[in-house]
Amino acid sequence: MRPWLIPMIYVSGSVVCGLGLPRLEYAYLASSALNLSVASAQAYLAAAASGMMALMGIVFALAFVTVQFSAIAYSPRLVLWFARDHSLFHSLGTFAATFIFALFTLAWVDRGASGWVPQFCGVLVVIMLSFSMLLFSRLIQRLTDLQITNVLQLIGDRGRKVIGGMFLHLDDNRNPRGGDDKKASEGMQLGSITQTLKYSGEPRTIAKLNIESLVRLAQRANGTIVMQCAVGDTVVVDTVLLQVHGAEDRLSERELLRAICLERERTFEQDPKYPIRLLVDVAIKALSPAINDPTTAVQTIDEIEDLLRRLGRRKLDAGYAIDGKGALRLVFPMPTWEDYLALAFDEIRQYGATSIQVMRRLRAALAGLTESLPSPERAGALQRYLKHLDLVIERSPFDAEDRAMARREDRQGLGLSRAPTK
């Protein structure tokens, strides 16, 4: 559901209830009334309505502060993540519903100069007020989510979730898309190109692929769909989205496009690179001369190392899907282990080249990854990164003593050296 629809549902419900409930109570429960004077009931309901308007203003201010702070302190790509928090929209909807229902109830107080005060609706306003206060307290408490540790933890949790859902462990012989690796490898023969699909709209990002739909379409035409763009890529006009190989029939372009989810920005769903990208964004912003906060960069490396340890134990070449008979039906680009390493470390190494703290933490991360990975090929790639890091330190503006310090492994950056100088 789109977030802006949430307050609209609350408002619509309050209007319906405000039009119906006081009328029904007046018609069938007029004999029971609150033991309040008309003036007291009017003052209480008017105060409830005006108070909700003030709370809505505070919520808007909190939302503005959240968006501004996350954009300046962390990354512009985190802005929508915080701004689209559903708890914010539920709070706005509850405050607006309480305001509207209190006004409708106020209109029925002393109806026709009868001196009648609605009992049921008055109690309902009290319940809505109490619930609004609970939501407001929750919103205030959510400000703690803006602390750097919580932000990094949230990003890391999303990354761990997508990694666990997309990739199998190295010792698992199953194909994550069905069948087994042997059958999949035997079906890697592609026929000639029979159809090419190009994009013809405004720039959009591929948020996810409907794997099942693409496989069904390829199976229907007895062909193989080869995606030319990966999840996370931004497509512009005339970009080749996919090619169909060896198909007996032409596939519907509308159905093919429907199986490719395009959004204005990247999402986490099928993009394990995206959480790493966000973590790196936070790190390099912290390393900028305007902020100069290497400790935050070290904290982001903690989360990055954890994600890479999980990726290093997984099958990353899962960019294909087969049908029930073992025939190859879909091929789509997936990042290699070297791609993940470049994304995770290159920019931090470049922007943190003058920080002893960052160099020590990077070295500790690379050494720890090398020892933890079961694949010799992936460990070899990490060894090459370690040599590159040593070369960066050697060419840095540090003096000899600082270069020796920078070569030490330290998971705290500057706190506890664990390896002698090499």
10-residue averages of pLDDT along the chain (422 residues): 84 94 85 76 91 83 71 70 75 92 92 84 92 86 76 92 84 54 53 93 94 93 93 95 92 94 89 94 91 92 96 85 87 92 94 93 93 89 91 89 90 75 46
What pLDDT is attached to residue 421? Answer: 45
Rounded to whole angstroms, the Cα distance separating 389 from 394 reads 9
pLDDT of residue 182: 44
Nearest alpha-carbon partner for 214 in 78, 136, 63, 329: 329
Gap between the terminal Cα atoms of the chain: 56
The label of the residue with tokens 């330190």 reads: 393
Pairing of the two strands 328-331 and 224-227: parallel
Residue 187 pLDDT: 46
The contacts of residue 276 (CB under 8 Å, 6+ apart) are 159, 304, 307, 340, 343, 344
Cβ contact 283:353 at 8 Å: no
Give pLDDT, residue 70.
Answer: 64
Instruction: Map residue 207 onto helix, strand or coil.
Output: strand
d(CA 66, CA 71): 8
Q: How many CA atoms lie within 13 A of 75 on its CB side?
A: 20
Numbered ranges of CATH 3.90.1170.30 in the chain: 148-336
pTM above 0.75, yes or no: yes
For residue 168, give the DSSP letter. Answer: -
pLDDT (0 to 100) of residue 197: 95
* pLDDT, position 283: 94
> What's the CA gap between 321 and 332, in Å, rounded?
9
Asked if residues 185 and 173 have their Cβ atoms less than 8 Å apart, the reply is: no
Dihedral of the alpha carbons of 282, 288, 294, 299, in degrees to the nearest 10: 0
Residue-level pLDDT at 325: 84
The CATH architecture of the domain made up of 148-336 is Alpha-Beta Complex (3.90)
Q: Which amino acid is at 316?
A: L
**Nearest of 86, 107, 105 to residue 10 by alpha carbon:** 86
| Residue 22: CB atoms within 10 Å | 23
> Strands 328-331, 320-322: parallel, antiparallel or unpaired by DSSP?
antiparallel
pLDDT at residue number 260: 96
